Amino acid sequence: MSGSWGKKVQYSIFGESHGKGIGITIDGLPPGFEIDLAEVTRELERRAPGKSPLSTARNEKDAFTIWSGFLNGKTTGSPLCSSIENKDQRSADYESLAWKFRPGHADYTGSIKYKHFNDLRGGGHFSGRLTAPLVFAGAIAKQLLRQQNIHIGSHIQRISSISESQFDAVTIDQATLEQLKAKSFPVLDPAVGESMQECILSAKTAGDSVGGIIEAAVIHLPAGLGDPFFDSLESTLAHLLFSIPAVKGVEFGAGFTFAQMRGSQANDAMYSKDNVVVTSTNHNGGILGGISNGMPLIFRVAIKPTPSISVEQDTVNAKGENVSIRVEGRHDPCIVHRAIPVVEAAAAMAIWDVL
């Protein structure tokens, strides 16, 4: 199972949604780095479930234990291993689903891949529950990046058909990113945010779910990071971003809007400002030829609607018979707001590895 990633820093996740716990091992952290554990906790709290009607009622505190690679508040240089105990799983909710494949889930593909031995409870190893260890690792990577004045932030740009404006790709600043981080529902426009939340609650009342788009920015990234072709900065970021459950689309800069532009519109005019090369627009999202150009790195990810819904759906069972299914239990009507710190974590992990 592909639970490991990284070249200069290696990350390995483990666990299942309803197992005893989940965790991650990080190999390659510099020795002597002082980790702010309180900040790691705050990042995990941003993702944690059970805090509002907008998310699942499963109440996990996501308190972590560090088992190795950390002594007297600093990294030792050996692999750092951390785990998070599962305490509020209700596996009985999945007993009736054991032989029915949930539409939109990895039940069927996982069953084929692992010859019917995969853990179906709560999605097992395929569950979004496994993103908590990613947030743990990303929180450390963010602290390392901050030493070099590199900052990452994001906002909910769309929920279903309701959207707000995108970042100003040229002038996005640290203050804006910090303000968003402090919000439980991070949007640039509070009024649009209220409409988004109403949309989520409406879907929840109907036993359904909605998806959305997260837009992220990385600022003060130096020019020259990344390589052409297979190790482009986009390729490295996309690899981790597409590893997040429910992410079905990634675009950088203007993304698919490039298809509507002419070259004269799409090209970012360059000029020198205080002996630094900058661009007047940032349609390319801070990357050219797979290499950072010093402008803010801008990307967006599309999150699909949560597949576990109580609306009756057609499916098949393990015998190949046509059956219907109604998913019970505790599920998010939308995971976009909880995915914010996960997307930021993936970006931080990828950029730290490149650095």
Binding residues for NADP(+): 47
Q: How confident is the model at residue 52 (pLDDT cuts 50, 70, 90)?
A: confident
- 96 pLDDT exceeds 60? no
Residue carrying the six token digits 């349609």:
283
What integer pLDDT is reported at residue 49 of this predicted model?
74
- Residue 2: both structure tokens together: 């592909």
pLDDT, mean of residues 24-32: 97
Residue type, 290: G
Q: What is the pLDDT of residues 278-308, one digit of tens each?
A: 999 999 999 999 999 999 999 999 999 998 8
Over residues 209-238, the mean pLDDT reads: 97
With pLDDT > 90 as the criterion, what percentage of the chain qualifies? 75
Going by pLDDT thresholds of 50, 70 and 90, the confidence category of residue 124 is: low
User: What is the pLDDT of the chain when averaged over all its residues?
Assistant: 91
Indicate the pLDDT class of residue 40, thresholds 50, 70 and 90. Answer: very high
Cβ count near 339 (within 10 Å):
25
Which band of pLDDT confidence, cut at 50, 70 and 90, is reported for residue 15? confident
Q: How confident is the model at residue 99 (pLDDT cuts 50, 70, 90)?
A: confident
Helices (H) and strands (E) in the chain, counts: 8, 18
Best mean pLDDT range from 11-20, 61-70, 149-158, 326-335 = 149-158
20 vs 204, higher pLDDT = 204
CATH number for position 187: 3.60.150.10
Mean per-residue pLDDT, 32-60:
84
**Taking a C-beta distance cutoff of 8 angstroms, is the pair 51, 61 a contact?**
no
Q: How far apart are CA 31 and CA 340, in angstroms?
A: 29
Binding site listing: 47, 125-127, 289, 304-308, 330
pLDDT number for residue 98: 56
The number of beta carbons lying within 10 Å of the beta carbon of residue 269 is 9
The mean pLDDT of 251-279, rounded to a whole number, is 97
List binding-site positions for FMN.
Answer: 125-127, 289, 304-308, 330
Count how many domains the chain has: 1
| pLDDT of 339 higher than 60 | yes
Sign of the torsion formed by the C-alpha atoms of 306, 140, 2 and 95 = negative
* Side chain identity, residue 329: G
Rounded CA gap, 354 and 347, in Å? 11
Q: What's the rounded Cα separation, in Å, for the pair 40 and 63?
A: 10
Signed CA dihedral, 21, 25, 29, 31: sign only? positive
Asked if the model's pLDDT at residue 211 lies above 80, the reply is yes
| % of the chain exceeding 70 in pLDDT | 92
Which residues form the domain of 221? 4-354
Question: Looking at residue 242, what is its pLDDT?
Answer: 96
Go through 230-248 and write b for each residue having 16 or more CB atoms within 10 A of its CB, e for each that does not.
eebbbebbbebbeebbbbe
Spatial separation of the C-alpha atoms in residues 255 and 312, rounded to whole Å: 36
